[in-house]
Amino acid sequence: MPPILEVRDLTVRFAGGTALERVSFTIEKEEIIAVIGPNGSGKTTLLKAILGLVPFQGEIRVFAKPIRQVLAQVGYVPQRFAFDSTFPLTVEEFISLTCRSPEKLPVGGVLDEVGMDEFKGKLIGELSGGQLQRVLLAHALLHRPRILFLDEATSGIDIEGLSDFYSTIQRLNREHGVTIMMVSHEISMVYKFTDRIICLNRDLISHGETRTALTKEVLKKLYGDSADLKNHNHG
């Protein structure tokens, strides 16, 4: 069986310098993978390169194919959704905007999956940060993706909502077999909810099962002396 995701010698350069340098890893199983690293370490760039949103050198294969050929099987929740918040678009209308109709799930179903069914008539500009992230997640799930990429999807969610969000992610993986790759800063949540980690700081620091790869030494290498497995949090 071909790997779900294969990244080989990935290098991304921007005008200002190198964002990623010869990064290689393979995802074989339907797991939850966290990408961690300090600010500016290339986490978002890694996701964008995999999705074909930025030019890169090296080779990336998703389900053994170039990403453009398998986009219908891929979901993505961006870090920021910089839309005009005064635009009158309801949650239901926003979810319905996506265009691949044949295999899509009912709008109510995906909203229910992320606990947002009762908000479908509300304007997206009136949602809180956490609610908006859940709606973006629902939007990404509409076409039953086999792999889901989340870029700091919990950045607008309060502490109480964090655990719920991670539980939803875990359920999607365990019950629906969706491979999930997420950029995160919540190290304690990563430790609790993910199966595998990729530690980045422009190049690959470590890669492996979360419980064994997420050591104090790795955290120190990434975040310096202040790193703490129990209470490290972005905010």
Partner 1 sequence: MVELLQLPFMQRALIAGLVLGVLLAYLGIFVTLRKMAFFSDGVAHAALAGAAIGLLTRFSPLVSALIFSMLLACLIYWLEKKSSLSSDAIIGILFTSGMALGIVLISLRKGYQPELIGYLFGNILAIRRQDLALIVVLAILIMAFIISHKRKLTLLALDREMAYMAGINPDLYQLLLYVMLACALVLGIRVLGVILVSAILIIPVSTARLFSRSFKALTLWTAVIAESVMIGGLLLSYYLNLPSGAVIVLTGTTVFSLAFLAQAKRRHLGQKKRD
Rounded to 5°, angle at Cα 112 from 110 and 113: 60
Q: Which stretch binds partner 1 (CB under 8 A): 27-35, 51-59, 188-196, 197-205?
A: 51-59
Least distance to partner 1, CB of residue 79, Å: 10
Residue from 39, 86, 226, 231 binding partner 1 (CB under 8 A): 86
Terminus-to-terminus CA distance in the chain, angstroms? 40
DSSP per-residue string spanning 74-129 = EEEE-S-----TTS--BHHHHHHT----TTPPPHHHHHHHTT-GGGTTSBGGGS-H
Does residue 70 belong to the site contacting partner 1 (CB under 8 A)? no
Residue from 93, 164, 195, 203 binding partner 1 (CB under 8 A): 93
Does residue 123 belong to the site contacting partner 1 (CB under 8 A)? yes
Does residue 73 belong to the site contacting partner 1 (CB under 8 A)? no
| Tally of residues, the chain | 235
Taking CA atoms, 27 is separated from 5, 61, 62, 195, 197, in Å, by: 5, 10, 9, 11, 10
Least distance to partner 1, CB of residue 231, Å: 33
Backbone angles phi, psi at 200, to 5 degrees: -115, 145
Q: Which stretch binds partner 1 (CB under 8 A): 35-43, 57-65, 71-79, 172-180?
A: 71-79
Q: Which stretch binds partner 1 (CB under 8 A): 69-77, 168-176, 182-190, 226-234?
A: 69-77
Evaluate the CA torsion angle 201, 205, 207, 213 in order and state its sign: negative
Q: Residues in the site for partner 1, rule: CB under 8 A?
A: 51-53, 71-72, 74-76, 78, 81-84, 86-90, 93-94, 96-100, 123, 139-140
